[in-house]
Amino acid sequence: MKLAGRQSTTPVEHPRSYLFTATRHAAIDFTDRQRREWLRRVDFESVDEASLADNSAERMEMQRDLAKLAVYLNALPAPCRQAFVMNKLQGYSHPEIASSLGVSVSMVEKHIVRALLHCREFLRRDEEF
């Protein structure tokens, strides 16, 4: 739908590449939105011994995924981890994060890319086992 509503007057020189890139970005955005919505549904404040004792398959999978995410992110330097969490999980923009951390927007982008690459590498390794 975004492609159909494209307002640019500049012609697309390589429509096939443009379509694949736009589709890939839309899929990434969709996945990010789904992940953020899932994390917003998790009530971290209400986690107690009783809820941890719940042995449902869904609860166990959620706990496993949260533990993996925590391990992946804890291996990163604090500013990198904080920028990633603020952007991907809390929804802050790059300029907001830069202001909060006292760094440039460019540095925030570098932190987030580093965190994404780091997590992707860990996930790739995890899938091999």
Percent of the chain with pLDDT over 70: 72
The pLDDT, as a whole number, for residue 36 is: 64
Residue 3 falls inside a structural domain: no
Q: How many domains does the chain have?
A: 1
Residue 6 falls inside a structural domain: no
pLDDT in tens, 49-67: 555 555 677 777 777 777 7
**Residue ranges making up the domain that contains 124:** 16-128
pLDDT in tens, 69-122: 777 788 889 999 899 888 888 889 999 999 999 999 999 999 999 988 888 877
Task: Please say if the pLDDT value at position 44 is more than 60.
Answer: no
Residue 8 falls inside a structural domain: no
Q: What is this structure's pTM?
A: 0.52
Where do the DSSP E strands lie in 45-106? none
Residue 4 falls inside a structural domain: no
**Distance between CA atoms of 39 and 107, rounded to whole angstroms?**
25
Residue 9 falls inside a structural domain: no
Residue 10 falls inside a structural domain: no
- pLDDT band at 126; cut points 50, 70, 90: low
Q: Is residue 126 classed exposed, middle or buried when 0-12, 13-18 and 19+ CB atoms within 10 A define those classes?
A: exposed
The pLDDT, as a whole number, for residue 103 is: 95
In this structure, what CATH number is given to the domain that contains residue 109?
A: 1.10.10.10
Residue 119 falls inside a structural domain: yes
**For residue 128, is it left (φ>0), alpha (ψ between -120 and 50) or beta?**
alpha
